[in-house]
Structure 1
């Protein structure tokens, strides 16, 4: 129910992006917290790793600082600090005072800084970030755990098969808001017979004011209510129908105290025997997975890059993508809302329970608490976006272990408690040994028999993939969504006949996977890994990057992109059934 930082006639948003003072050498905390003694400069938002060579693989403390002043008319406002994401651990100081912090990457958090700001003088904001991972942080440190625990050292160490970018990677904003204000808003769609629908909503507020909601030219009063639509304009893939919403809070004598504007999308998601249904109609999921990764930015947010990436997916005829392996920004979800692109949001939990040792050593109680908190934060931030059709609570855990299966079931129940309306998945990589998929709404499989088992033998790959998805469907009786498959295709590498690591081999193997998946009526969809090449940590098994992208890291098409364009053959705006 977290509100987005939006301007209105009662609210002012101040973007704090730009060049900040920075320091990453030995320092006194007392001086750094007051904005003193800084020796460098870093851009915000952006990962620190590309901004200077000495920070490329750095995982320690980096201090950021800048000044801000409040406008003259802010005397009676509360001042909230909204940080969209600071990887991985952050401590925040205002005018030298520790006001709180957050642990967890790619997650939005908000702090009330009202008691600590100067109204009539400049203020100093300092943020200390670090990438100090452990077995308790949700992205774990990767030492003896994670997929690569038995394949030699990886640097920088982490449990994820993506580069561990650090720093303030998403926008930092100040929100000036009334003391009595609207503090939360959530809604859900209920379909009725005859094409009618009801929007159930809830508004949270501070104080005792009266709540009024306006939508589609109609006005409603109360913190909770139901809005009936006799002929709703549903949101659907390729049909981004949205309704503007204005929520107002009134004080004594009908005085307007606060106003918050947003939009809603009337959309229902269910899972039937053949897959996902949007508003009661089956939709086949053709798509990919995307990392926040680009030269110079690292995982830093760029609105132009987000727009370009979604447009490239639409160019291919895709209708969905998964934000792997961490939650997307609300800005990306909003873009998908407005373009009619479906989105699967994923918690930043990667490769849990892989490694040697007792279960409690691989996944501590503290890790479990952090995992549930991350799921809650993801849902709080993204639940109002109609484009978000599904939650993924983990990527590629060791779900062949009974303790892992029980752990995942516990996290699934937590997600369902927070949002009963959306399907919940995790993505399995252990084939028939998996013990957890039966708990979830769909069986989601990441399959890499091309590279891990059969090398370049396409026919063996097709046979094995078919056997696997048939068995997993027989076992659980649920639709199978293949959330990852792919082959390394280094841009510019070609061969006749196709051999591994060439663009030609990537085309041959991805086409083989698609042939097998699309031939199954129980298949809910096929999602290629990955949208674009992305940076990974140093390891003998990777040539600097994961080269399974449909596009290069710079977003130029490989041969696979053109082949997919021919195969999918239609605009994403038209929607898809199969």
Structure 2
């Protein structure tokens, strides 16, 4: 194996100062971990009594009234007003809303508590506490000491546990989670989905050496001519690794056994970067979701990951996967299991949702409107489903508030840091349906630029709204200047007119870029039947999809490169309050809240089958 280049991490334009300061540990499953999932105790605290005193000032750390302190009475004369004990039990991971009827519409503070023993670890190892996500503001305490705070409901975070805080037995872990919505947060107060609260993803202890690889990336070099590389069966792989507390003289080994690659690099500062040749790489695609075992070794730790290698790019009005044009047969998905009215949390949940997408003949999913569980992106890797991943910059964000921009940037950074090794992710989205203004465009374009700096190997987009001008549906949002593809949400025949209006619709795109329909759909209550003109019948939704498909085939611009209709399954939304048809559910799902497929499911399924067969025939030629 011929080593081509060795450079320092500072030379990589994709690595920014913001990343260098980020302490998120990637790929916890590839390391030594102890799960803290399971049964926790809880206290519901709508008045934040455990956080503030009666003057509404935050408690001092050692105050006995603070809920992060155990404060167990030693005898019956001692006074206390809080305790964590059965039967006040709650399951982690999981939203609190589905676990007890009293939580159904609850927004506020809930305190979580459990004990754990120190895991087996050497004196030269450190311990971190990792959360896959908790919605929205999270404060973490161990044995009465605050480890840290995190904002953001859909991205991971971790805290190092100081050795002088950790005990051998019965460590008292308390987590305050507050899911109240605020105008200056991301997302803001106004959303069209239910604000599930709680520790919604896995909690783990991560045992690492004092000197360890914090994060890394291994991928195909985006600068190479992929068509030539495929022809010659010679590919350039590139990447980096960032080290926490680098040790003098230690080297990083990068190994891909199946490709007979084993390279070693000296650490420069706190990082390495690499660029080497690999032969006969089987490229990842929906038809061939090939994943290679990749090992990174530094000191006493070996991290194992499963990584696919592919390129995604645009060529004028075309989207190119591994140098070939591809049409994205997508569907939008919320992170919910509708039959149980809850957040999706497990591998089984991911298999259900993505299994439905595969049955629909999709090759792509839009994970809206926030980064989904790691189980989803890992399953997408294995199933060969391309992914659009998005941060919750949604509707009426405070675009003129620089602090809001910082929060959005942080969530964007955490999303990309967590998932940059997932071959399935082809699009980073910086937001959804944001109203056009100069202030908004400056806000959104800065996010698009940041995403491209953090990861130049993927496409950048955002879901835009259409501009109607003299009977023409004109796609000319100024944000389109900064995105790689032009994505549009359109509901022609639902919020205005009837599906028949698709027959005369005219479309124009102001940019020489691929055009993608990021949303389209109509509501239908599962099992409700009638004339196709009757709203909320399955027949109306079926008619809507038939007219949309015909419009795609006959009236769309030549830049049309895919779609992800809204949405795979019905989901909870407090904005949808028709007592006959909605009852707190957004009914645009192709699958109802009982898991039954509606008639429109089969319309889209047939269209996607037709497109897949056309693509297969074209590739043969």
TM-score normalized by the length of structure 1: 0.88
* Counterpart contact for 2:219–2:238, Cα < 8 Å: yes
- Aligned equivalents of 2:417, 2:42: Cα separation in 1: 31
Q: Does 1:13 align with 2:33?
A: yes
Spell out, residue by residue over 1:466-486, the C-alpha distance to the aligned partner (whole angstroms, 9 max, x if none).
Answer: x2xx32x2x112221001000
Q: Which residue of 1 is the match for residue 146 of structure 2?
A: 98
Q: Does 1:169 align with 2:200?
A: yes
Are residues 226 and 88 of structure 1, via their aligned partners in 2, closer, same or farther at CA, if it must alter by over 3 Å? same
* Counterpart contact for 2:194–2:573, Cα < 8 Å: yes
Q: Which residue of 2 is the match for residue 144 of structure 1?
A: none
Q: Which residue of 2 is the match for residue 246 of structure 1?
A: 295
- Aligned equivalents of 1:543, 1:119: Cα separation in 2: 49
Q: CA deviation at 1:300?
A: 4.2
Q: Which residue of 1 is the match for residue 393 of structure 2?
A: 349
Q: 1:258 aligns with which of 293, 301, 304?
A: 301
- Aligned equivalents of 1:545, 1:489: Cα separation in 2: 11
Q: Which residue of 1 is the match for residue 518 of structure 2?
A: 483
| Structure 1 range deviating more: 203-212 or 121-130 | 203-212
Q: 1:366 aligns with which of 396, 399, 403?
A: 403
Aligned residue for 1:481, secondary structure, equals: strand
C-alpha root-mean-square deviation of aligned residues, in Å? 2.2
Q: CA deviation at 1:187?
A: 2.5
Are residues 280 and 555 of structure 1, via their aligned partners in 2, closer, same or farther at CA, if it must alter by over 3 Å? same
Aligned residue for 1:451, secondary structure, equals: coil
- Aligned equivalents of 1:572, 1:63: Cα separation in 2: 49
Map 1:191-340; keep pairs closer than 5 Å: 191-192=224-225, 193-195=228-230, 196-205=234-243, 206-208=245-247, 209-215=250-256, 216-222=259-265, 223-250=272-299, 257-294=300-337, 295-296=339-340, 298-340=342-384
TM-score normalized by the length of structure 2: 0.82
Q: CA deviation at 1:74?
A: 4.4
Q: Does 1:45 align with 2:93?
A: yes
- Aligned equivalents of 2:70, 2:461: Cα separation in 1: 44
Are residues 497 and 450 of structure 1, via their aligned partners in 2, closer, same or farther at CA, if it must alter by over 3 Å? closer
Q: Which residue of 1 is the match for residue 55 of structure 2?
A: none
* Counterpart contact for 2:391–2:412, Cα < 8 Å: yes
Spell out, residue by residue over 1:433-489, the C-alpha distance to the aligned partner (whole angstroms, 9 max, x if none).
Answer: 7332232111100001222221xx22223423xx2xx32x2x112221001000001
Q: 1:392 aligns with which of 411, 418, 429?
A: 429
- Aligned equivalents of 1:572, 1:112: Cα separation in 2: 48
* Counterpart contact for 2:400–2:439, Cα < 8 Å: no
* Counterpart contact for 1:238–1:574, Cα < 8 Å: no
Are residues 297 and 444 of structure 1, via their aligned partners in 2, closer, same or farther at CA, if it must alter by over 3 Å? same
Equivalent pairs, count: 536
Spell out, residue by residue over 1:215-256, the C-alpha distance to the aligned partner (whole angstroms, 9 max, x if none).
Answer: 122210113222312321000112111111111113xxxxxx
- Aligned equivalents of 1:112, 1:183: Cα separation in 2: 12
- Aligned equivalents of 2:200, 2:577: Cα separation in 1: 28
- Aligned equivalents of 2:615, 2:149: Cα separation in 1: 42
- Aligned equivalents of 1:136, 1:28: Cα separation in 2: 24
- Aligned equivalents of 2:92, 2:572: Cα separation in 1: 20
Aligned residue for 2:526, secondary structure, equals: coil
Larger Rg over CA atoms: 2
Q: Which residue of 2 is the match for residue 450 of structure 1?
A: 493
Map 1:431-470; keep pairs closer than 5 Å: 431=467, 432=474, 434-454=477-497, 457-464=498-505, 467=506, 470=507
* Counterpart contact for 1:317–1:570, Cα < 8 Å: no
Aligned residue for 1:476, secondary structure, equals: coil
Give 5+ residue unaligned stretches, structure 1: 142-158, 251-256, 354-360
* Counterpart contact for 1:135–1:364, Cα < 8 Å: no
Spell out, residue by residue over 1:517-572, the C-alpha distance to the aligned partner (whole angstroms, 9 max, x if none).
Answer: 24443101021110100000155465311111111123321112223333322798
Are residues 78 and 313 of structure 1, via their aligned partners in 2, closer, same or farther at CA, if it must alter by over 3 Å? same
